Structure 1
């Protein structure tokens, strides 16, 4: 069996009907024997000489017996205990061998099955058991009978690192030979994967390597298992070198063939291989596309267009460069779900349960989504404003869209628009261009396999534009209910109906959205979460999710509310919960490491444990400080990650009435400061402010966190109060914050981001908030539990602000203003 393919010729015998009842003896790694099945072996064995094959312990091979003495031997043994000794004949003579012609070491074999073939030859299937060595021959007639001593396998039962590496290398080499030699059937890899015994693996590979007979016999005679494996590896490495060299020579030879002849040869080969493998020919592919088109629920116009493109493809040479491009185009048309819709599940009670289960809080948002679905249920079409979920990162905007798809039973697709600058990403390229593709809208519809999926347009506020067009304008056609029933993709070149698609956009900032695009969408604000909501979200969603992702059971450990609050306050600063999930993931990883290393760990994590696990807190809690300093007032601000508090600091010093503004303030904030100062100059008498202060004292206004740019009109009344406090040295009411724009006349105007600002105030320990009376409607829309422990003062005029904010009491150690005497104007008397 010099060819490694021989084994698989033998394995094919298992498909013969006479082979059904063959019972193989289980061969283990301990002694490669099973005496309970076959009985104790005798020290005298009938010897069967064989040529061209070496039988190794554990191997099953067929042996064809043609010599008369050998035929009589196997028949007699088959009727008896079926045990024989197999020795390899050193020469290849067909004559009856003498004892001198045989090797001394062979393998005990069990005859599994015997076949008498037409022509008189007999074939036996034998299974090797263990090796033996001939001590002496007792007789030679009617067949060879020898006294033998059995050789136990010396392969170690437990392998050290070096031996494990040796066995692993053997397997890798065997797999490499399989990859390099295409003549070996792929079933060989399955056979290798199923071998668990290292000793059997060595015998299996020794039996099947491409080596001379004497080299295989030498492996059989190598009694030490590790030494045998080492010699086997040398043979296999030589075989690999031979196969690699053969492949390299074939590769070099093929490159010398004339290109035209090579192309013709390859085409013929492909054709033959396609027929052999059952791969469709170009004609069959066209027939398949034609049949697929016949089942489509498209309009007559689309069908005519498809048939025209199919005819063009049929006339094109399959070997031309244009053929793949046309094939891709026609396949796209055939693969799109024209008129194919999933059935909507309009069980709104179930939809509400799905939304409540997936998202804690956000009651008004979920209510608006249910209203939207109710209208869809009653009306039956999508000619309604496109929903745009607007809010800071990490509040669940994208996952809300996934929950809507889940509740409706629709397909879900998501298209990320962040950084998208090329209009072709929306409308596609002209198919005549090299590398042309349809736009992401059509690609997503194809991927969904349905014409009515829930389609998330993620980060619509981050769409850019450059010389390659304006993607925001391209989205107008997609999102306009009056236009998207006939959406034209440049690559597709025919109208596609998007009117049944439920588009849901998400955004962090409305200011950067194209005005016309914003006009087509209904903005639903998804604001941040309170501390209580974040704790519940962490307990119900984030912590169980992180435990599952890190392979922990629910009962491994728990976090109490105080621990979760510590994570929220000390390690996150956000309106959403994305950073909170990351920090909880850090905690879970620390616990996972302790469990994996059998170390002690807290089973119920407290706030103290959080600091030990995560290190010192990253953020100081934004808290109201005190009102001991004149000119320091707490304001409320909106940021892209939610609300925040800020302190307006004001300081007076002797000078010439210079106004200084610092803290990276934008133009709007600077103008608010100047308007506030001008208002106080105009009304200085009402507040007991000496007018000389404005000329003889410099005023410096600073907003801390100087590295952070700040702008917006919301700090107008805050700056007014800070300047008034500094000029009068009166205390500001404690635990008070404010937000609102101020005009030169002292009017207070409404501002945005009210809910986020209120959440920031609660986090900071604020108890009273001053804002414009026109913002009352924004407060009334907020759930009662958000504002249960806050008092609101609604004002329309700056005087009301100062009356509420400034106390009669002055600060400790107030500034004592000292003014220079004004120069007396000189006069001259006329003489």
Structure 2
């Protein structure tokens, strides 16, 4: 900035007759001296230049750009000759543009551009006309007379030309004013206007203007001739149309309508489609009925609509499957991160389709929480097969007629959604996505899920009958894919027809890669930004995942990324900064305080506090269980909005401890002298599921025996009355939650050991997994000091004996 100011001062001191002035670039306009012009300004540089001149003497240099399509012209894109003008008025419009009124003062020439940012500023000097030649000569008078005659003809040929323009031009006796006045008010090219403005000889200006006027008059005369011919043709067509309408009305009165031609057209269309005999007979019968009715009757209109609907269906129109397993795998990997099991199943489906194209009955149901990409996966399958893609949204559908259609006897009847989708696809073998199949409802109008049974049954859908069409249509070639958030609300007969592929919630690492490799580039392109203008640090993306979103999919994450990009775009456009870097440190400046805090384990080992793991619809979470032992009469209090399954797990854990009290160093009559309070925090959130049995049992043993629990240990699993640890689901999400919370050891059921192969490598590398078949293994892992005491002979006699197991002796180890 200081260099620019020094350059300005140097120019002003060396060139006193020159002027350093802001420049406003005109697009598609040329201003002449003594001419008043109003135009809209919207470019940032132009607005900044106007702001500058309004604070000083309101003088600005107006010059035209060579290419009107250039949004951000450079110095070389500008003409050298322009006009120094006075800004008379500026009006700011609501759309962000300015309406400016200027008056040209004198012609000037740009010598040098002083600065290009934040707006153009140039050194200009006056550029007066050459007045050495005699302007009162006969040549000048002849040229002026010629120009006036040609301009008068131009005004006659140009519609809606104001009379004041013609009068002011004809009464002018100044050749300089005459040229600039006419050129400024003519609709000619910018290059021609600029050529006149650049020319310094007044007589040559008159010659140039005369040539332009003569050329324009020739073009306008030709246009007028063409318009007169077109108008005559239109008048002739209107007359013929009027006569035809009269003939049609007369024919209608006489009953000699052209219905027969329409009937013949329908017969011809039916024969071209080569339909099955039943369908062709039905349609021909309808056409015959229509031929016997008056063409303007209501029933004829109903039949006509029915025939059009049936004939527009894709009868015998197939697309050829183009299946390439390698290309399909590359497409799936490019558009979807992770989801290895789902991709593998899709590739298996494509491989079978390639070997056996006529296979039927492969109906897939993608089940998973919102935002994990179920719909986009179906679209990718259609793309990889080369099939047409059509989607039907079943959310909130309550009427069976929405699926099967309405009968023709009702007013406003129409085909159902299935046949409407077939018409939309344009082929007999599209990929049809039945979206949100678990959101189907039912009421007194019927059960739409029952109507889908025929659609999805490969033994029946080869002759699907829509109530409106009344003819069978083959749906067996359609590849149906359904999506659902939950299987609980899908009726069992409908679920039986589909193969379920479960899409689990994304882990933290998967969300990070999806955001970085897919969502962020897509949103950058949508917001008109590039990676050089807005940069996201990796820790900022992790902060978005951990602190601003809590979901199974990535929809909320994408919305937060879009919000950050909008705020960055605002800063860049407003000029506050040229490049925005978003990191974990400054993300709160854009999105406000962090909404969610990461789960953290306690710093010290505590008695009766155990880290459990739970699965939720938005991924895995830590589920801490607290137990308090109080003096009382043996009451058991369960709090924390627990469901029936968790309550039963707690009761089973208490019964198990009562049966093994002496082994774990617990008072034998605790169930009569102590009150137990089992609490799971966040009482407002309902919690249920068969995976908290071992957690509750460990917390009870710790609280009753007074032994602390290691806080870097977490666990999951269900317990039986004999101390067995039962398998659970959702191990991938649960272990990811343990990894986020800093857990070092996780006790899992022995039968879940094969599921460790599906866990993220980063989780396997940082967590030690302890498979447990009995609860004692969990207790040894979790309690700070765990030592089993030898039971008394009386206790051994009371221990339950499983089938095939011998009674242990008093000195023998406890059976595990």
Work out whether the TM-score is over 0.5: yes
Match of 1:512 in 2: 489
The whole-number CA distance in structure 2 between the counterparts of 1:678 and 1:633 is 19
Which residue does 2:664 correspond to in 1?
A: 687
Q: Report which stretch shifted further, 620-629 or 560-569.
A: 620-629
Task: Report the equivalent of 2:749.
Answer: 772
Aligned equivalent of 2:310: 333
Could you tell me which runs of 5 or more consecutive residues in structure 1 were left unpaired when the two chains were aligned: 1-25, 33-76, 86-106, 114-123, 136-145, 160-193, 198-264, 811-831
Contact 2:507 2:619 in 1 (8 A): no
Q: Which of 691, 701, 724 is the equivalent residue of 1:747?
A: 724
| Displacement after TM superposition at 1:345 (Å) | 0.8
Contact 1:488 1:494 in 2 (8 A): yes
Q: Residue deviations 1:418-437, cap 9 Å, x none?
A: 22222222222222122222
Question: TM-score scaled by structure 1?
Answer: 0.65
Structure 2 residues not aligned, in runs of 5+? 1-27, 36-141, 191-241, 788-816
Measure, in 1, the Cα distance between the counterparts of 2:302 and 2:661. Answer: 79
Aligned to 2:602: 625
Find the counterpart in structure 1 of residue 289 from structure 2: 312
Task: Identify which of 105, 108, 111 aligns with 2:152.
Answer: 108
How do 1:643-792 residues align onto structure 2 when only pairs under 5 Å count?
A: 643-782=620-759, 784=761, 787-792=764-769
Q: Which moved more, 1:490-499 or 1:551-560?
A: 551-560
Match for residue 558 of structure 1 among 521, 526, 535: 535
Structure 1 residue 536, shift from structure 2 partner: 1.7
Show the counterpart of 1:440.
417
Alpha-carbon distance in 1 for matches of 2:611, 2:765:
21
Q: Identify which range, 617-626 or 350-359, moves more after superposition.
A: 617-626
User: 2:777 aligns to what?
Assistant: 800
1:84/1:109 contact within 8 Å kept: yes
Matched, 1:582 2:548: no
The superposition leaves residues 585-623 of structure 1 with CA deviations (integer Å, 9 ceiling, x where unpaired) of: 110110111122222265332111222111111101123
- Residue number in structure 2 paired with 1:494: 471
Q: 1:808 to 1:374 in 2, by over 3 A?
A: same
2:444 to 467, 484, 490: 467
Question: What residue in structure 1 maps to residue 574 of structure 2?
Answer: 597
Q: 1:600 to 1:486 in 2, by over 3 A?
A: same
Q: 1:274 to 1:315 in 2, by over 3 A?
A: closer
Aligned-partner Cα distance in 1 for 2:592–2:168: 75
- In 2, the alpha carbon distance for the partners of 1:332 and 1:195 equals 54
Distance 1:600 1:29, change over 3 A: closer
Aligned to 2:328: 351
What residue number does 1:419 align with?
A: 396
CA contact (8 A) 1:109 1:127 kept: no
8 A contact 1:110–1:129 mirrored in 2: no
Shift of the 699–81 alpha-carbon distance from structure 1 to 2, 3 Å rule, reads same
The question of whether the paired residues in 2 share the 8 Å contact of 1:297 and 1:340 is answered with: no
- Kept in 1, the 8 Å contact 2:399–2:443? The answer is yes
Structure-to-structure mapping, 1:561-572, within 5 angstroms = 561-572=538-549
Instruction: Specify which of 336, 349, 352 is matched with residue 375 of structure 1.
Output: 352
Residues 662-718 of structure 1, C-alpha deviation per residue, up to 9 Å, x if partnerless? 111111211111111111111111101012322222111111111111122221121
User: Who is 2:387 aligned against?
Assistant: 410
Distance 1:376 1:808, change over 3 A: same
Q: Which residue of 483, 508, 524 maps to 1:531? A: 508
Q: Classify 1:128/1:687 alpha carbon distance in 2 versus 1 (closer, same or farther; 3 Å).
A: closer
Q: Is the 8 A contact 1:392 1:527 kept in 2?
A: yes
Change (3 A) 1:687 1:786: closer
Tell me, in whole angstroms, the C-alpha distance in 2 between the residues paired with 1:524 and 1:741.
25
Please say if 1:429 is aligned against 2:406: yes
Query: Is the 2:463–2:475 contact (alpha carbons within 8 Å) kept by the matching residues of 1?
Result: yes
Aligned 8 A contact 2:30 2:184 in 1: no
Distance verdict in 2 for CA 1:378–1:427, change over 3 Å: same
Q: How far apart, in 2, do the equivalents of 1:564 and 1:155 lie? A: 62
The number of aligned residues is 592
Whether the 8 Å contact between 1:398 and 1:506 is mirrored in structure 2 is: yes
How far did 1:660 drift?
0.6
Tell me what 1:239 maps to.
none
After superposition, the Cα gap between the structure-2 partners of 1:84 and 1:473, relative to the gap in structure 1 and judged at 3 Å, is same
Pick aligned residue for 1:637 from 591, 614, 619:
614
Q: Deviation of residue 372 (structure 1)? A: 0.8
Distance of 1:351 and 1:741 partners within structure 2: 41
Distance 2:754 2:274 in 1: 50
Q: 1:481 to 1:696 in 2, by over 3 A?
A: same
Q: Secondary structure at the match of 1:684?
A: coil
Distance 1:638 1:339 in 2: 48
Greater mean alpha carbon deviation, residues 674-683 or residues 304-313: 304-313
Q: How does 1:124-273 map to 2 (within 5 A)?
A: 131=165
Counterpart contact for 1:413–1:453, Cα < 8 Å: yes
CA distance in 1, matches of 2:393, 2:458: 21
Per the alignment, in what secondary structure is the counterpart of residue 375 of structure 1? helix
Which stretch shows the higher mean deviation, 668-677 or 689-698? 689-698
Check conservation: 2:650, 2:693, Cα contact below 8 A.
yes
* Aligned residues of 1:130 and 1:152 also touching (Cα < 8 A): no
CA 1:27/1:316 → structure 2, altered by over 3 Å: closer, same or farther? Answer: farther
Q: Compared with structure 1, are the counterparts of its residues 148 and 662 closer, same or farther at alpha carbon in structure 2 (3 Å cutoff)?
A: closer
Whether the 8 Å contact between 1:109 and 1:126 is mirrored in structure 2 is no
Among 584, 606, 611, which residue is 1:607 paired with? 584
Q: CA deviation at 1:467?
A: 2.1
Contact 2:361/2:457 (8 A) holds in 1: no
Q: Is the 8 A contact 1:382 1:502 kept in 2?
A: no
